Amino acid sequence: MRQHKLALCKEHYLVWVPEQTERFIKKYDMFSHDERVLVAVSGGKDSLSLWDILVRLGYQADGLYIGLGIDGGIGYSSESQRLSQEFADAHSQTLHVVDVEKEYGQPIPVLAERTHRGFGKPCAVCGLTKRHVMNRIARDLGYDVLATGHNLDDEAAVLFGNTLVWEGSYLLRQGPVLPESPGLARKVKPLCRFYEREMTAYAIARGIEYIYEECPFAEGSTSIYYKEILNQLETARPGAKLTFYLRFLEARRNGLFREDEKAIRNLHPCPNCEQPTSAPGLCSFCRMIEKVDQSEILGE
Amino acid sequence: MAAKLILRDKEYEVRPGMTLLDALKKSNILPESIIATRAGEMILEDEILKDNDVIKLIAVISGG
């Protein structure tokens, strides 16, 4: 770990990662041992490692797997669900499963096709659906907090993209904790200060079986492109990604970005699902489902 | 006389005696984007590659 000027053997590395995670959980006031945590699990290295770490640290952490119905010739969703379920069974943990097709009528690729969102790629629909479902399950099942496995590379790539176009409102909301607000569960990212490489090393060293194949729709994505650019920077300047992210958090804390009061005032509960939205009438997710339902009635 | 790096479905032949870091640079692979393993065990960038070494590189980048 060149950015930390630290070299650890396997045994100590497996102690260091949970210790650091605990430090970040406390530093950013994410949650306590008395609270119930819902971990969004995709079957990938980060989310399964996060679940593993939280369980090792003694937190009350259950998993949530969202079946997206993506096949891509490799059975992507079924394989990632199998690995998530195997992890849950092996560690005697509870895994909640939401199947998008069963709950909303169609798998993600069809929802995207029917709604003509995302210019041929279902990533926007997938993100919208996952955010909606994660928040719904966290609130419906009474969890105090929703935890995702976003690592530093994920955060740095999002920050890089939003900075390139000065997306003030997104920059303001990016951080280790998104506090609870009416209709929205608290969201936390306990791995946000670990490099993606560190999390891969943790998963391998712990023997966690995760889905190695990339989502078939992720090929050529902007976020992967940004990660590659940032890795070039990191290779030349060790620590660059961590500094970029931490200095951003510091600048935000010091008031570099200002809340748009008008946008906050315009939030209201969706008349269908009751999750907050700034759009008039139904929220984006319910409008998308309504559009799919109408296209089925019209036989499109 | 060669060592081999394997990344997904690609193979790269490199000269034994060089470090893993140099081998990665010669193969245009960003060290930050992989974890290297030999016989299932992770190895570090300053490891000297030996003749007939087969180094499996695990891609670390994910996301969409």
Mean pLDDT by 10 residues, chain A (300 residues): 72 96 98 98 97 98 96 92 98 97 93 78 91 97 97 97 92 94 95 97 96 89 94 94 97 85 75 89 91 73
Q: Note down the domain range covering A139.
A: 13-297
B41 Cα to chain A: minimum distance (Å): 9
Give me the residue label for tokens 């509870």: A94
- Rounded CA gap, A44 and A4, in Å? 25
**Residue B52: its H or E element:** none
What is the signed CA dihedral for A236, A238, A241, A247, rounded to 10 degrees?
-120
Of B31, B60, B63, the CB nearest to A200: B60
Write down the pLDDT at residue A261: 66
Of A44, A231, A232, Cβ closest to residue B62:
A44
Q: What stretches in chain B show pLDDT beneath 70?
A: 64
Q: Measured between CA atoms, how close is B27 to chain A, in angstroms?
A: 14
Residue A184 has φ and ψ, to the nearest 5°, of -125, 130
The verdict on a CB contact (< 8 Å) between A214 and B33 is: no
Chain B residues inside the 8 Å CB shell of A157:
63
Q: How far is A271 from chain B (nearest CA, A)?
A: 31
A145 and A187 Cβ atoms separated by less than 8 Å: yes
Separation of alpha carbons B54 and A141, rounded Å: 49
CA gap A285, A38 in Å, rounded: 21
**Contact criterion met (CB below 8 Å) for A10 and A205:** yes
CA distances from A261 to A3, A257, A278 (A): 38, 12, 12
Mapping DSSP to helix (H, G, I), strand (E, B) and coil, where does residue A142 land? coil
- Between A and B, how many CB-CB pairs are < 8 A? 60
> CA A177 → CA A188, A249, A283, distances in Å?
5, 11, 23
Superfamily of domain B3-59: Beta-grasp domain (3.10.20.30)
Task: Write out chain A residues lying below 8 Å of B59, CB-based.
Answer: 212
What is the number of other CB atoms lying within 10 angstroms of the CB of residue B53? 19
Q: Which residues contact A299 (CB under 8 A, 6 or more apart)?
A: none
How many helices and strands, by DSSP H and E, does chain A display? 13, 8
Task: Tell me which residue has tokens 């969202």.
Answer: A66
Q: Chain A residue with minimal CA distance to B40? A: A204
Nearest to B37 by CA among A116, A207, A152, A243: A207
Task: Write the CATH number for A281.
Answer: 3.40.50.620
Q: A205 touching B, CB under 8 A?
A: yes
Contact B23, B49 (CB under 8 A): yes
pTM metric for this prediction: 0.93
Rounded Cα–Cα distance for residues A154 and A124 (Å)? 16
| Chain B residues within 8 A of A212 when measuring between CB atoms | 58-59
* Pairing label, strands B41-43, B34-38: antiparallel
Which of A66, A62, A92, A71 has the alpha carbon at shortest distance from A81? A66
**What are the residue ranges spanned by the domains of chain B?**
3-59
A234 interfacial to chain B (CB closer than 8 Å): yes
- Number of domains forming the structure of chain A: 1
Contact call for B42 and A235, based on CB within 8 A: no
pLDDT of residue A300: 59
Question: Is the separation of the CB atoms in A18 and A56 below 8 Å?
Answer: yes
Q: Which residue on chain A is closest to B60 by alpha carbon?
A: A197
Which residue in the set A44, A224, A232 is minimally distant from B30, CB to CB? A232
Does a structural domain hold residue A194?
yes
Residue type, B3: A
Smallest CA-to-CA distance from A158 within A179, A173, A147 is with A173
A3 part of contact set with chain B, CB < 8 Å: no
Q: Look at the block and give the residue holding tokens 């949970």.
A: A18
Largest Cα separation within chain A, whole Å, is 62
Chain B residues close to A7, C-beta within 8 Å: 44
Structure confidence at residue A272 (pLDDT):
93
